[in-house]
Every structure is written in C-alpha cells, then in structure tokens.
Amino acid sequence: MKPKGNWRGLTLATIVLAAAPAMAQAPGAAHGLPGRSGDVKAARDALKEAHKEARAALKDKDASAEDRKEALEALKKAREELRATRQARRKERLEELQKKYDSDFLGKAAVVAERRIHARRMARLSVMLKLAKEMKKDALVTRIEAAKKKEQERHEKRMEKLKSTNGVDTAAPAASAPKGAK
C-alpha cells in the first residue's frame, strides 16, 4: 500500500531542515557543557540566521534567482566557518574530558564505545529538539528535553561504572570455554 500525500517532499524537507542544525551543533552545546567559546556561539548564530534567510528566499516565489543565490551563499559561508572551527571545538571537548578522567582511561575500548554512543544519541536528540522548536511542538520539545536529560544521566552513570572497573566492560558477556572443556 502506497502512502498518501507528498511523502517524498516531506522527507526531503525534513532532511534539509535537519542538515544545517546538525552541522551547527557544537559538541559542548549538545551536552550542555560550559566553556563554549564566544566565536563558536557567534558562528552558530550566524549559521542560524543564514539558514532562516535561505529558507525564506527559497519559499518566496517573488524573490529573484540572485536573491536565492545570495541566501544560499550566506548559508554555505556560515557552514564553512563552523567546519573550520570543528577541530578546535573537538580539542576543547577532549581537554575537558582529560581534566575529569585519566587519558589512559579515555583510550579504553569500552570508554571509547560509550563516548561514541553518547555523542550520537545527543546529536540526534539535538536535531530533533531543533526541529520540534521550529515546528512549535511544545509537548514534543518537553519530551525530547526529558530524553536528553535521561541520556545524560545514563552516560554519567555508565562512565562512573567504567571508571570504577578501570575501563573494563563488565556488562559484556565473557568468552565462553569450548564445549567439552573442563
């Protein structure tokens, strides 16, 4: 059974709306951590403004092709500015983690896996939150904020458990002995 309506257009619109905010999300911002530099915040604000202008220009049927092109160029420039600071933001986040945890601990496989899981979940929740706010879905915003808080608490609890076991994952099943071995 085929879905009714313009589902392809809706999917494309969702992807377009999700792409720029995901690129604009600074790692520290996704986790609610202090210490974001003012440059990153200014770049994110510039990206948001450029995104709004580009979206408005694309929706405006009376706008000239030149206006649309200018809006898209401004959006592209804002994305490039954030892309240029990505390594610095990543280094800043790593320094924060190294202050809290030992670098040997951060290199353990279970800890690296947990950090990746947490980063991915928080990034996805941040994109969802941004979209829900744009669509003015207050009930959904509340649920997503609760999910972000729950994920942050889960991550902190997991990191403390890993810290107490020195980065050894006790949740993973142990390798079993071959059958017939005693």
Say what the pLDDT of residue 7 is.
Answer: 47
Q: For residue 83, what are the contacts with CB-CB under 8 A and spacing of at least 6?
A: 23
Say what the pLDDT of residue 72 is.
Answer: 74
Say what the pLDDT of residue 33 is.
Answer: 45
CA distances to 94, 100, 146, 153, 180 from 169, in Å: 21, 19, 27, 18, 27
C-alpha span between 30 and 54 (Å, rounded)? 24
C-alpha span between 127 and 119 (Å, rounded)? 12
Contact 125, 154 (CB under 8 A): no
For the chain, the domains span: 20-28+35-100, 102-166
Say what the pLDDT of residue 49 is.
Answer: 74
Say what the pLDDT of residue 34 is.
Answer: 44
Say what the pLDDT of residue 57 is.
Answer: 62
Has residue 63 got a pLDDT over 80? no
Q: What is the mean pLDDT of residues 124-142?
A: 88
Give the other-Cβ count within 10 Å of 113's Cβ. Answer: 13
